[in-house]
């Protein structure tokens, strides 16, 4: 199903040919992101990602966009804690064009000073935008609680100070040091000609030297007591994010965690949605998410709740966490969680872009790919007891982290006293 190759310099190629598809999705992944930075240079990976769209030795900024969009394609990029990705979705017959554009962006960006200064202002506005969106900003506050005083817990976009102090020469040096062959994965899915892709990648990237892989500071999960962070703001509702340290990307209980997430807050049938929204009308938005990284992870409950019902909402959330920690979920609930978990994966992988992201991310982070059949077999082995075991390992009273944004009267210590799972 998947086709793979590796160049002598360490660069990896992975593809999922999908017969009958008209589109090709292509991505170039760099194993670098927010946690590869320091507080001094925070946001440089994201800054660099923006600048790679501003022109190369072969293509101007305008030519990059027009070359892809002019044939019906779409071009984008993103930066996460552990990865940077540049991606294209395009009609399959333009495979060579997509590879040429993306590879030239990655290898030969001009990084013109005038664009550095313009993009600096754009990113500073982006910072303001996220801070003005409490449903997003509360997540940043929670990350600071989960991983304090370390790059893992700092925002990917950086701070006003770090963005203002990052110069063009430093950005160029950062790129040269991190965008190296062993840290690059080229992934593709859809109407892909793998032989042609491999030949093209070899021609373009084989001259890159074999250097050492990027490294980052290991995450510290040290925590002895619950932590609370309040950001008082005159909002119409209170935005809540509650988090616990959780499992790393390839933990043996990763699927149990995924199923527990579905049962607790993964859809409209979930316990949190039913208890807080359907039964009591305390929240419009309520859900949960499992975040996984190389060596750490987080389980997060997020909600927008009635300003007058903050204490009641927190109590109900903790009640549900305690319940799933102490008692097995019902057989019916377990079956629905498994069917939803696998169904969502199958539906997503009908799209060439999702397939490209699937094989690219797992290759870049774990050095391997997973077939649908492998995932189904693994999920089938999960038992109800595994969900309870996951909950018992994660939901500990001294490991609670709570971030809130809203017109709050209570103080942090007062709220901390209410965080009880016993």
- Which are the catalytic amino acids? 49
Q: Are 288 and 370 in contact (CB under 8 A)?
A: no
Determine the 3-state secondary structure of 211 from DSSP: coil
Q: How far is CA 217 from the centre of its chain?
A: 18
Helix (H) or strand (E) holding 9: none
Q: Are 180 and 7 in contact (CB under 8 A)?
A: no
Report phi then psi at 419, rounded to 5.
Answer: -85, 80
- Distance between CA atoms of residues 298 and 313, nearest Å: 21
Residue (of 269, 268, 365, 254) closest to 29 by Cα position: 365
> In DSSP terms, which residues pair with 403 in a beta bridge?
229, 241
DSSP code of residue 398: G
Report phi then psi at 217, rounded to 5.
Answer: -75, 125
- Distance between start and end Cα atoms, the chain: 49
Residue (of 65, 113, 103, 73) closest to 89 by Cα position: 73
- Distance between CA atoms of residues 66 and 93, nearest Å: 17
- Distance between CA atoms of residues 55 and 101, nearest Å: 10
- Distance between CA atoms of residues 335 and 355, nearest Å: 26
Residue (of 63, 336, 45) closest to 163 by Cα position: 45
Q: Are 85 and 353 in contact (CB under 8 A)?
A: no
């Amino acid at each position: 199903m998947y086709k793979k190759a590796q160049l002598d310099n360490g660069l990896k190629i992975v593809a999922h040919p999908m017969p009958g598809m008209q589109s090709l999705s292509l991505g170039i992944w760099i194993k670098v992101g927010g946690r590869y930075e320091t507080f001094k240079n925070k946001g440089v990976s994201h800054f660099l990602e923006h600048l790679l769209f501003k022109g190369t030795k072969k293509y101007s900024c305008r030519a990059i966009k027009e070359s892809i969009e002019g044939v019906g394609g779409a071009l984008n990029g993103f930066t996460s804690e552990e990865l940077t990705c540049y991606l294209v979705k395009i009609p399959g017959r333009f495979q060579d064009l997509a590879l040429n554009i993306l590879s030239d962006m990655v290898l030969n960006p001009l990084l013109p000073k005038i664009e550095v200064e313009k993009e600096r202002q754009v990113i500073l506005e982006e910072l303001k935008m996220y801070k003005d969106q409490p449903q997003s900003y509360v997540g940043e506050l929670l990350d600071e609680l989960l991983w304090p005083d370390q790059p893992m817990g700092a925002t990917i976009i950086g701070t006003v100070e770090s963005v203002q102090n990052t110069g063009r020469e430093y950005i160029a040096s950062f790129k040269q040091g991190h965008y190296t062959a062993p840290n690059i994965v080229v992934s593709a899915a859809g109407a892909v000609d793998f032989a042609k892709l491999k030949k093209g990648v070899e021609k373009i990237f084989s001259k890159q030297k074999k250097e050492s892989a990027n490294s980052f500071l290991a995450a510290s999960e040290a925590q002895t007591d619950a932590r609370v962070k309040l950001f008082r703001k005159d909002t119409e509702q209170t935005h809540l994010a509650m988090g616990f340290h959780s499992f790393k990307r390839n933990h043996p209980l990763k699927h149990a965690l995924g199923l527990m997430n579905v049962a607790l807050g993964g859809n409209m049938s979930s316990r949190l949605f039913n208890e807080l929204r359907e039964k009591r009308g305390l929240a419009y938005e309520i859900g949960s998410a499992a975040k996984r990284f190389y060596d750490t992870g987080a389980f997060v409950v997020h909600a927008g709740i009635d300003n007058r019902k903050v204490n009641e909402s927190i109590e109900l959330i903790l009640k549900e966490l305690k319940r799933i920690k102490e008692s097995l979920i019902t057989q019916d609930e377990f079956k629905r969680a498994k069917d939803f978990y696998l169904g969502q994966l199958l539906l997503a992988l009908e799209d060439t872009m999702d397939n490209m992201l699937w094989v690219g991310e797992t290759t870049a982070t774990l050095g391997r790919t997973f077939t649908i059949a492998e995932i189904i077999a693994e999920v089938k082995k999960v038992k109800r007891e595994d969900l309870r075991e996951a909950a018992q390992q994660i939901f500990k009273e001294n490991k609670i982290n709570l971030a809130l944004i809203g017109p709050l009267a209570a103080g942090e210590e007062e709220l901390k006293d209410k965080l009880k799972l016993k």
